[in-house]
Amino acid sequence: MAMMFIRWRPRTVLSPVVGHLNGVAQSMYIHGEALIHVTRHQQRGAWATEAGGQLFGSVSEEAVRIVAATGPYMGDERSRYRYRSNPQSAQAAISRSARVGLLYLGEWHTHAEDEPELSGSDEDAITTLRARSKLNASAVVLLIVGRAEPPRGLAVYSCDGQTPVKWTLSCGEA
């Protein structure tokens, strides 16, 4: 008898997730299409490997809007507790998005935990990324996708210098 595996699929419509940071007037919005893309790769199985990619959108005085996510790619380095994008594929996604007017805002990846937290290697990665990236924004964003439904299963950090800061997330309107 053949075994049948059912892959969990997120709702086809997800409400935007809104982020706030103490002392900052600017809000962050993670829109439905980006949420659907990243939650499609949640590590729900016992042996599921991390997945990840890049985040794209726009920045204004009032808001950072994450409207698209790409990845994972063929050639990525993936294990249960580690992810690294294929550099050529990631750069190609950044170039394609720039041609349609979307800014590169940062990275996303999954964690095998319900409510994800920044690991030491995540902190090193986001500070290195900020130091090495040529951005049109003052900070880089890191979205970590856990197993719980959004917003509880998401963690968003930004880094504009030395130390990443965590955003408070809730469901909201864009």
Summarize the confidence of residues 48-58 as an average pLDDT. Answer: 97
The catalytic residue among 33, 50, 77, 173 is 50
pLDDT tens for each residue of 112-125? 999 999 999 999 98
DSSP for 49-86, written as a single string: PP-EEEEEEEE-SSEEEEEEE----TT-EEETTEEE--
Q: List alpha helices for the chain, DSSP H.
A: 32-39, 87-99, 120-132
Asked if residue 106 lies in contact with residue 69, where contact means CB atoms within 8 angstroms, the answer is no
Q: How far is residue 57's CA from residue 68's CA, in Å, rounded to a whole number?
A: 6
Q: Is 149 one of the catalytic residues?
A: no
Instruction: Look up the pTM and report it.
Output: 0.90
Output the pLDDT for position 132. 78
